[in-house]
Amino acid sequence: MNILIYGLVFLGSLLVDIVPLIGPPAWTVMVFFQVRYQLDIWIVLIVGVIGSTIGRYFYSLYVPVFSKRFIKKEKNEDLHFIGKKLSSKSWKIHLFVFLYTLIPMPSTPLFTAAGVARIKAIYIIPAFFAGKFISDAVMVITGDYVVTNIENIGHSFLSWKTVLGTTLGVLLICFFLFVDWRKLLIEKKFRIHFNIWKKNLPPV
């Protein structure tokens, strides 16, 4: 029975992190099943973080398809430019990804940026896994301590922390997409372009 429940932890963590929207974080899935079925916290963490990491990896693979279909060619080239810049300093990317996943922020902007800029997700997965395991461990252990019944879990999905994290995540994605990165990195001038979407979309 527990094997099936651990499988649901994996599947739930994978699904919330593979969708192209900023939704509930994977740790809420882990806390839900851990509290509801009194599972082993460390197994829940290992299974959940693996599912979350795989979900983010697949997410980063199909984001470029969205970018190519809906975003103008000029903006795609701009995003590829920053991707090459970042890829040339790999240890800094790993450090940034690790530190980013330690704070309670959605990882959707991180993998959206990596995917659109064509940064190979496999390069940042180890740092993401390490940081996410630590941050999710804190959240799951804390959740196990404070949650006394299943209703508390439901309330956490609409807590002010979730709303704030979602809002900040959306703002980060907008910042990444609308900034003229060539202008900023080459000429040291900050410029924002909102007209990045294709007017005539290709047929499905």
Convert the pLDDT of each residue in 27-50 to its tens digit.
889 988 988 888 999 999 999 999
- Under DSSP, is residue 69 helix (H, G, I), strand (E, B) or coil? helix
What is the reported pLDDT for 12? Answer: 95
- For 144, phi then psi, to 5°, come to -65, -35
Strand partners, 57: none
What is the per-residue pLDDT across 138-186, written as a single tens digit (0 to 9) for each? 888 877 766 654 444 445 544 555 566 556 656 766 766 677 766 766 6
How confident is the model over 87-124, as pLDDT tens digits?
666 677 788 888 888 876 778 777 877 887 777 788 88
Q: Kindly tell me if the per-residue pLDDT of 60 is higher than 60.
A: yes
Structure confidence at residue 89 (pLDDT):
62
Global pTM reads 0.69
Taking 60 as the threshold, does the pLDDT of residue 128 lie above it? yes
Q: Which of 6-10, 62-66, 149-153, 157-161 has the lowest average pLDDT?
A: 149-153
**Contact predicate 135/45, CB 8 Å:** no
Q: What distance in Å separates the CA atoms of residue 123 and residue 95, rounded to the nearest whole number?
A: 12
Nearest 5°: the CA angle 65, 22, 181 is 55
- Residue 132 and residue 17 in contact, taking contact as beta carbons nearer than 8 Å: no
Task: Quote the pLDDT of residue 143.
Answer: 73
Check residue 20 and report its DSSP letter.
S
Whether residue 30 contacts residue 136, with contact meaning beta carbons closer than 8 Å, is answered with yes
Region of 177 on the Ramachandran plot (φ > 0 left; ψ -120 to 50 alpha; else beta): alpha
Mean pLDDT of 190-202: 67
Domain segments of the chain: what residues?
2-186
d(CA 17, CA 190): 32
